[in-house]
Amino acid sequence: MSTASLAPSLSLDQLNVADEDAFVALLDGIYEHSPWIARRAFALRSAGGFASLAALKHAMATVVREAALDEQLGLIRAHPELAGKAMVAKALTAESTNEQNKAGLTNCTPDEFARLQQLNADYNTRFGWPFILAVRGPRGDGLSRQQIIDTFARRLNGHPDIERAECLRNIHRIAEIRLNDKFGVVPTLGNQVWDWAESLARFSDPGFAENGQLTVLYLTKAHRAAAAQLADWMRECGFDEVGIDAVGNVVGVYHGEAHGQTEEPPRLLTGSHYDTVRNGGKYDGRLGIFVPMACVRELKRQGRRLKHGIEVIGFSEEEGQRYKATFLGSSALVGRFDPAWLDQADADGVVLRDLMRDAGLPGTIEAIQALQRDPARYLGFIEVHIEQGPVLNELDLPLGIVTSINGSLRYVGEVRGLASHAGTTPMNRRRDAAAAVAELILYVEERAGAVPEVVGTVGQLQVPNGSINVIPGRCRFSLDLRATTDAARDALDADVRARLAEICERRGVSFTLERTEVAAAAPSDAAWQSRWEAAVETLGLPVHRMPSGAGHDAMKLHQAMPQAMLFQRGLNLGISHNPLEAISNDDTELCVQAFLALLVRL
């Protein structure tokens, strides 16, 4: 419904009726000098053929993922070096020539060319294969030469296993773009979302903006500008009502067909946050606002009304970066905005109530309490989010369905031993606080690793006033425990605390442990989860179910109504809370299509 045509030279129908040799011939050049991939993908073609282009892409990626190591390395080595000898000698395949041209590699300055030659040589020495990068990039229209050189330099430091996988994923991206070209497919909806995300990222807080970094903390100038921009875009999309509420949430409503009648059916609520962590990515949170916006824009363009209204919320605060409270935006909707938060001051002493008033918001608890939604008027809450992890990447899957948002517990602790001379204190007479915590860390790793879907992390570790020649007398640490169910989290918690007590008893040291946060697990609503699953199936993609290790706005809405989330794969190993966070336009297109499929089936 969204794809523009570019004079296709290949169609799914052709591939679905072709015999094996014809099939392989039709896909010639999609994977560089590697016809075995198309040949094995042919064996994965079902009686009805590939259901979609996405299904074909996934089949080919699966063939490569399941191939032997030497076959994978052969595929990587079938690719030319970037701006290498083959490019200079004009000995590349037509596809590679096109890609290297589009990235401007044929117009390198002498310095850039020399730098690329050095990187090629260093990379080959380190890994034994050429550096592979989909130079047409996540938007499909070409990375800049500087982006290419920066990525090259960064990946030179990777672990060989990770780098091999990253090369293969880039090869799949190259194949995806080549297939799009052959099929005449342009991911228009995905491009729209990608472009919104890029454009919204121009608003960033002082101290970060100057360095090209993205930081949008609660109610800063950049934050308010981002909200105004979101509201403008929502109006352009064709939302019927758009506004900014008393906590800074941007709210857009697209009415259902029965709007204005007495028996208006309940609305669907969706959205995610637009604030960011410091030096964060462009898609965390924001993707979950843009995807439903793109759907409404599409519905409006088609002149289509659904039975149910859709309410899309850009939540103003989720990350807890400026004030001690997190989920300020979604808390208000479920009546959990703590009045005491208004008296909190940030690191600069700015009190939340005053900040709100300076931003033109009422800054009163009454106005905030009025935002609470009546669950009876809503079908439920759904949220799209980037995965923020490596799982979908490893499975070559663009989308995953969330089964539960992990419950979590956080502690800060300190072990106290005895600081004594590192030279004169015999090994059997020591009360080493850091060694005790080290033992705890290894236990957390072992205990959490023994159970699926449970994770434990000691992320902060400090020996206050430590010296090279003094046995640590104190060791401070943090503890973060998460699990898909509260029962699994609590079992982990009990074991970890018991082990800490045992370690300290045995080593003759003492400890304190302060719980700083507790969050209940939020299992997805079965009916909404299955709607996401059905939507993903309509795209011809396999359904992959997974827990969410991170907290999301859906966790808050869970306290008021049924909820379920859809994850989209992130590029660069799924890295998030980092400027390297990235998504492709094609994955985003599928995400919007899945959302639309869910909407029209409601």
Q: Vertex 139, ends 137 and 141: CA angle to 5°? A: 75
Q: Which residue is nearest to Zn ion (CB)?
A: 285
Nearer to Zn ion, 581 or 586 (CB): 581
Cβ 576 to Zn ion shortest distance, Å = 8
Whole-angstrom Cα distance, residue 550 to residue 478? Answer: 17
One residue of 80, 285, 314, 574 binding Zn ion per CB under 5 A: 285
* Region binding Zn ion by CB under 5 A among candidate stretches 41-49, 205-213, 284-292, 590-598: 284-292
317 binds Zn ion (CB under 5 A): no
Whole-angstrom Cα distance, residue 534 to residue 547? Answer: 18
Nearer to Zn ion, 37 or 287 (CB): 287
Torsion angles phi and psi, residue 73, rounded to 5: -65, -35
Would you say 505 and 432 are in contact if contact means Cβ atoms under 8 Å apart? no
Nearer to Zn ion, 84 or 271 (CB): 271
Whole-angstrom Cα distance, residue 430 to residue 473? Answer: 10
Number of residues in contact with Zn ion under rule CB under 5 A: 2
Instruction: Give Cβ neighbours of residue 168 (< 8 Å, ≥ 6 apart).
Output: 64, 65, 72, 75, 76
Whole-angstrom Cα distance, residue 404 to residue 47? Answer: 35
Whole-angstrom Cα distance, residue 203 to residue 205? Answer: 7
Which strand (E) or helix (H) includes residue 357?
helix 352-358
Burial of 1 (0-12, 13-18, 19+ CB in 10 A): exposed
Nearer to Zn ion, 205 or 493 (CB): 205
Q: Which 432-451 positions form the footprint of Zn ion (CB under 5 A)? A: none
Nearer to Zn ion, 285 or 380 (CB): 285
For 512, other C-beta atoms within 10 Å of its C-beta total 11
Nearer to Zn ion, 318 or 432 (CB): 318
Spatial CA neighbour of 433 closest among 447, 446, 423, 419: 419
Cβ 318 to Zn ion shortest distance, Å = 6
Cβ 139 to Zn ion shortest distance, Å = 22
Nearer to Zn ion, 72 or 220 (CB): 220
Cβ 585 to Zn ion shortest distance, Å = 20
* Region binding Zn ion by CB under 5 A among candidate stretches 51-59, 165-173, 283-291, 494-502: 283-291
What's the token pair of residue 272?
């995610």
Q: Convert 253-276 into a string of H (helix), E (strand) and C (coil).
A: EECCCCCCCCCCCCEEEEEEECCC
CA 545, chain centre distance (Å): 16
For 48, other C-beta atoms within 10 Å of its C-beta total 7
Nearer to Zn ion, 42 or 218 (CB): 218
Instruction: Map residues 374-413 to x or -, x wherever contact with Zn ion holds by CB under 5 A.
Output: ----------------------------------------
Burial of 266 (0-12, 13-18, 19+ CB in 10 A): middle
Partners of 384 in beta bridges: 566
Nearer to Zn ion, 298 or 553 (CB): 553
Whole-angstrom Cα distance, residue 282 to residue 213? Answer: 10
Cβ 21 to Zn ion shortest distance, Å = 48
Cβ 284 to Zn ion shortest distance, Å = 4
Whole-angstrom Cα distance, residue 575 to residue 88? Answer: 34
Spatial CA neighbour of 103 closest among 161, 174, 171: 174
* Region binding Zn ion by CB under 5 A among candidate stretches 21-29, 281-289, 290-298, 424-432: 281-289
Cβ 552 to Zn ion shortest distance, Å = 6
Instruction: Map residues 241-280 to x or -, x wherever contact with Zn ion holds by CB under 5 A.
Output: ----------------------------------------
Cβ 285 to Zn ion shortest distance, Å = 4
Nearer to Zn ion, 164 or 223 (CB): 223
Q: Which amino acid is at 121?
A: A
Instruction: Give Cβ neighbours of residue 59 (< 8 Å, ≥ 6 apart).
Output: 41, 44, 45, 50
Cβ 286 to Zn ion shortest distance, Å = 9
What's the token pair of residue 23?
């099939």
Place of tokens 């962590």: 277
284 binds Zn ion (CB under 5 A): yes
Cβ 542 to Zn ion shortest distance, Å = 25
Cβ 198 to Zn ion shortest distance, Å = 18
Whole-angstrom Cα distance, residue 117 to residue 78? Answer: 18
* Region binding Zn ion by CB under 5 A among candidate stretches 145-153, 282-290, 321-329, 407-415: 282-290
Nearer to Zn ion, 284 or 317 (CB): 284
Nearer to Zn ion, 321 or 425 (CB): 321
* Region binding Zn ion by CB under 5 A among candidate stretches 285-293, 475-483, 534-542, 583-591: 285-293
Cβ 385 to Zn ion shortest distance, Å = 6
Nearer to Zn ion, 284 or 311 (CB): 284
Nearer to Zn ion, 119 or 575 (CB): 575
Cβ 496 to Zn ion shortest distance, Å = 27
Q: Which 479-508 positions form the footprint of Zn ion (CB under 5 A)? A: none
CA 60, chain centre distance (Å): 24
Cβ 13 to Zn ion shortest distance, Å = 40
For the four alpha carbons of 475, 480, 486 and 489, in that order, the dihedral sign comes to negative
Helix (H/G/I), strand (E/B), else coil: 283: coil
Q: Which residues lie near Zn ion (CB under 5 A)?
A: 284-285
